[in-house]
Amino acid sequence: MLLANYFQTGWRNLLKNKLFSLINIVGLAIGLAACALILMFVKHETSYDNFWQNADKIHRSHVTFSIPGRDPMHATSAPGPLIHALKKDFPEVEYATRIGGWGPTINHNGQVFVEQIKLVDADFAKMFSVDVLAGDLELALSDNSSIVLNESLAKKYFGDSNPLGQVLSLDFNFFKKDFQVGAVIADTPRNSQLDLPALILIDESAWEEQNWMFHGWFSVNAQLYFQTQQASDLDSINRQFDDFANRNFPKMPIGGDDAKASDFIKLSAMNIQDLHLNAIGFGEMRPQGSKTTVITFSAIAMLILLIACINFMNLSTAHAANRAKEVSLRKVLGATRSNLITQFLGESVLMTLISVLLAFVMVELALPFYNETLNQELVVSYDPSTIATLLGLAISVGVLSGLYPAFILSGFRPATVLKANKSAETGASLRLRAALVIFQFAVSIGLFIATSVVYSQMQYAKQMDAGFNKDNMLVVNRVSREEASNKRELLLKEIAKNPQVTAITYSNETPGNTNENNTMMRTPEMAEEDALLMGQRAVGYGFFKAYEINLIAGRTYDKNRADVSPTDEQLRAGEKFPGSIVINESALRRFGFKDAQSALGKTLITGRGDPEENLSVDLTIIGVVDDVHFNSLHATIRPEVYPLSADFGNSISVRFTGSPEQLVKDVETLWRQEIPGVPFSYSFVEDNIAELYQSEQGEATMFAAFSALAILVASLGLFGLASFTADRRTKEIGVRKVMGAGVFDIVKMLMWQFSKPVMVASLIAWPVAFYFMSDWLEAFVYRIDTSLIIAMCGLAALFALCIAWVTVASNSIRVARANPIKALRYE
């Protein structure tokens, strides 16, 4: 009976105080919805690769090349021969497999496709507990003529028919081979760094032409996973990696006779469950996450929920005076303090449960946009454990947010309250409420500053002069395929005839789609062991013109000049003549040349072929170009050379005017007509560059959205508090108006009352935000000036003041314009 009375009283109280109830319910709902969305993201990010059997014993090796004069080069892939040395030197390693990727052409039923095929070792089947839907995985990976397809590819090629025993012909561009389907596996879950559309056994003999794939100690082309007997073996292996590198790596061509491999190469290994958030380097199959992002958004979720709880506490304690008589009468009629605490906590939980229902609606409505922003497929799970967790969270929030108001309300003295017909609010309660308002605005100002910095950095990345013109550049891919390579000159000539085309070139790499290719180079005056590591991007004729890269001195490659370098075959045959080379400004400085003009005509020497052949070629510097940002702003511009690729290129780049859709249509028609055996593939340089910042862009959008929610929840609380304050001071305002105060004077007085907490909050938020955002910007080599953060601090404070003024003014004007006679009759 008592509980029913509590429920009835609580429900009536909600209906009686509609504004108070609405602000609390909506504020809590927003807080819970934001918290739920962020926790879904966090749960997904922290669940990567923990579903494998023996996941705690499966690890991946990484390598870092630290070459003097260059930023460290971190790779999540490993040298091909490392697997054999690892098994030989570490008895605790039970199994090991490389996982390398290649995109062969598949001709099936008159159609051509390009698929990502993963090349693996036989131990893969023993290490990874993939769900085998048909066939025998171990048997398939013991035969170099079998292929394993995932469910999606099996359905794509064979529909509902049985794929086992079916044959697919794969053209790897260096060799062609028929593979028989030996097994079908389930698609790899999205929460994995592995992407396994199809598997074939590594046959090193078939890749002899591409010796670097599996035999090069300084070429990293495949990830290396290994399984240890115990999870703790990982620490022991990591401690021994320096000695292991010195024993197994061949001597580096730099550093002199006493140099060790471990001076320049650092091997490490990381457990598979830690890869998504902690691994650093190039070579991932799927996009990595960010541990900092997970921590940041977890903190934002807690802050938004905390702000919503603060709203409840502030409004409940402020509203306490209106319930003083009710509390006193209940005490006179025999209610104990514990009864009253139970009643008020019950009202708090009731309000929270209503908020939970509203939060579920908000989450379902927001989820499609949320997934689109994150490029994920998160779903709300309504299983009993999830619902129990959310209800537990709601009840906990209700109890925690209502605990302090319950103790305040239950502590009123009946004699004092009934005698005075009111409750005098304590100074402690006022100070606590002021402190909580300051905290809310400090959080809001901090989030506003953070959002502004993230947005400014993203804009800086988009607008920064990268050293080339990325607009109106079409890239046609797969030109290196044998069938396309044979028609390259025809493609160049025919595409150039298109009236939309203003420039055309070819190259091995394009902006936003680059590899970490390097070469050792030296001047004739330098000893061989003093050679420098230079970044290398092979380009075709007209490359610098097409991309509008500024030429500082000299010239670029010309078909009518003797710019072509000797091939490896010519060098082996004894033919040796100088070629030409174009370098960038960073390379100019790295070689120690005085200026661009003085570098022209100088000779650079670089090695060719296999190291044991000791072949080299002389290259004459014919041009120096500006430094160019081909990669993201996270990386320093490296010293680079641009050798001429006279007869080979992975891509054709086309500068155009007019409609991009029409140009793509024309080029695709030409491609299908001339090269029917290779699927047409294209992209735009602008889009490729944007993809470099895709994760940051999604995080920036999330940050902005959740920061706006935090500010909205804080504003809701301030609105409710300002409304209550204005109503409570009705009589005071009436007296002031009778004494001659104008509406502006009264509004100014009330606005000043709420401006002081905002100013104090700004002083607290500024140094905290400056510290964290300065640290965040350190991840970018090229970034906005930190002085802009100071300007944003001032802007954030002004923004917070405007919010406070607008929120308070909407209530203050209403009360200030009221007839003073009605105000003096108040109560």
pLDDT in tens, 806-820: 776 666 665 555 555
Partners of 584 in beta bridges: 625
Q: Please say whether the dihedral angle defined by the alpha carbons of residues 806, 812, 818 and 822, taken in this order, is positive or negative.
A: positive
Q: What's the rounded Cα separation, in Å, for the pair 242 and 239?
A: 7
Q: Average of pLDDT values for 569-592? A: 90
189 in Cβ contact with 198 (< 8 Å): no
Q: With 90 as the cut, is the pLDDT of residue 458 above it? A: no
Q: Is 286 exposed, middle or buried (0-12, 13-18, 19+ CB in 10 A)?
A: middle
Over range 10-30, report the average pLDDT: 72
- For residue 571, being part of any structural domain is answered with yes
* Domain-embedded: residue 91: yes
- Domain region containing 638: 501-656
Structure tokens given for 83: 């697997």
* pLDDT value of residue 32: 84
Residue 669 maps to a domain: no
Look-up: residue for tokens 């917070």? 800
What is the DSSP secondary-structure string of 66-106?
A: --TTS--EEESSEETTHHHHHHHH-TTEEEEEEEEEE--EE
Top pLDDT among 671 and 20 is at 671
Averaged pLDDT for residues 679-684: 93
- Amino acid letter, 124: F
Average pLDDT over residues 436-456: 84
> Quick count: other Cβ atoms within 10 Å of Cβ 482?
13
Q: Which of 522, 529, 536, 508 is nearest to 616 (CA)?
A: 522
Which of 234, 263, 292 delimits the end of a domain?
Answer: 263
- Please report the pLDDT score of residue 1 as a whole number: 45
pLDDT at 404 over 60: yes
pLDDT beyond 90 at 530: no
In this prediction, residue 707 has a pLDDT band, given cuts at 50, 70 and 90, of confident
Burial 425-434 (b: 16+ CB within 10 A, else e): beeebeebbe
pLDDT in tens, 24-67: 788 888 888 888 888 888 889 999 999 999 999 999 999 998 88
Mean pLDDT of the chain: 83
The total of structural domains in the chain comes to 2
What Rg do the C-alpha atoms of the chain give, in angstroms?
34
- 592 conformational bin, left if phi > 0, alpha if psi -120 to 50, beta if neither: left
Question: Which H or E element spans position 330?
Answer: helix 324-332
User: Of the candidates 203, 138, 146, which has an alpha carbon nearest to the alpha carbon of residue 180?
Assistant: 146
CA distances to 488, 499, 546 from 493, in Å: 9, 12, 15
Residue 332 host element (H or E): helix 324-332
Q: Contact 74/62 with Cβ under 8 angstroms?
A: yes
**What's the rounded Cα separation, in Å, for the pair 584 and 467?**
11
Identify the DSSP state of 274: G
For the chain, helix, strand, coil in percent to 5 are 50, 20, 30
CB 138 within 8 A of CB 125: yes
Of 656, 684, 712, at which residue does a domain stop?
Answer: 656
Distance CA 752, CA 812 (A): 11
Q: Are 654 and 510 in contact (CB under 8 A)?
A: no
How far are the Cα atoms of 106, 132, 179, 305, 374 from residue 371, in angstroms, in the given order?
33, 29, 38, 22, 5
Quote the pLDDT of residue 423. 45
666 domain-assigned: no
- For residue 755, pLDDT over 90 is answered with no
Residue pair 734/762 in contact by the 8 Å Cβ criterion: no
Residue-wise pLDDT for 534-547, tens only, equals 889 999 999 999 99
Q: Are 366 and 33 in contact (CB under 8 A)?
A: yes
Any domain includes 492: no
> Is 158 a residue whose pLDDT tops 80?
yes
Q: Which of 247, 263, 279 finishes a domain?
A: 263
CB 137 within 8 A of CB 125: yes
Domain assignment present for 780 = no
Pairwise CA distance, residues 651 & 667, whole Å: 13
Structural domain contains residue 237: yes
**CA 518 – CA 218 distance, rounded (Å):** 10
**What does each C-alpha distance from 304 to 218, 449, 569, 711 come to in angstroms?**
49, 16, 67, 9
- Among 188, 218, 192, 208, residue whose Cα is nearest residue 77: 218
Domain annotation covers residue 712: no
Res 602: pLDDT? 94
Residue 637: both structure tokens together: 């511009």
Which range has highest mean pLDDT (28-37, 233-242, 508-517)?
233-242
User: Which pLDDT score, from 0 to 100, does residue 826 have?
Assistant: 45
Distance CA 401, CA 312 (A): 6
Query: Does the pLDDT at position 334 exceed 80?
Result: no
pLDDT value, residue 541: 94
Least confident of 84-93, 287-296, 305-314, 441-450: 305-314
Q: Is the pLDDT of residue 737 over 60?
A: no
